[in-house]
Amino acid sequence: MKTKDFAVTGFVVLLGALLAYLWLAPAGHPMAPQASFTDLQGKQFTLQDLRGKPVIINFWATTCPGCVKEIPAFIELYKKHAEKNLVIIGVAMDYDPESQVREMVRRKQMFYTIVLDTKGELAQAFDQVSLTPTTFFINKNGQIVTRKLGEMTHAEMESNLQNMLL
């Protein structure tokens, strides 16, 4: 009789542990890397600092036609969703000269956050990004909800953002 009670108790404990794990486990999205950034004004921050906010990270280059074509859509997205604390970070690739990046930012009036990946460390941290544009949608919990390689339309950006906000 005691063996049966022990087996039932063990089963209930195991079932409870499994349910607790399923309840508390992340929703299946990978966590964003622990990355550190320095924007063009010299301000340093980490992704951990942005926890609680939706974040879009776009790896781009001034010589990439698709990247340049996306810039107005990112500007509009930022304007439209600024009240939702949306953070957009444009990461200029390590092969892009700083002077060229600064000139593009000035000319295109890119007022969202721009950082230089001068050593390629951010591209490496984000799963070896080598092609531009590559964009990551990171939810408020720091999970990568979407990774998109290639140019996106404004409608695609909106759709990915809405999926991230849910």
Task: Give the whole-number percent of the chain exceeding pLDDT 70.
Answer: 83
pLDDT, mean of residues 37-54 = 96
The pLDDT assigned to 13 comes to: 46
pLDDT at 33 over 60: yes
pLDDT, mean of residues 87-107 = 97
The pLDDT assigned to 9 comes to: 60
The pLDDT assigned to 43 comes to: 97
The model's pLDDT over 99-111, given as tens digits with 9 standing for 90+, comes to 999 999 999 999 9
pLDDT, mean of residues 1-10 = 59
With cut-offs at 50, 70 and 90, classify the pLDDT of residue 124: very high
To 10 degrees, what angle do helices 65-81 and 98-108 make?
50
Task: Give backbone dihedrals phi and psi of 2, rounded to 5 degrees, phi first.
Answer: -65, -35
Q: Which uninterrupted H or E stretch holds 103?
A: helix 98-108
The pLDDT assigned to 120 comes to: 95
Catalogue the long-range contacts made by 6-11 (C-beta closer than 8 Å, 24 or more residues apart).
none
Q: Where do the structural domains in the chain lie, given as residue ranges?
A: 29-165
Q: Are the beta carbons of 3 and 10 closer than 8 angstroms? A: no
pLDDT at 81 over 90: yes
The pLDDT assigned to 14 comes to: 44
29-165 is classed CATH 3.40.30.10: yes
To 10 degrees, what angle do helices 154-165 and 65-81 make?
50
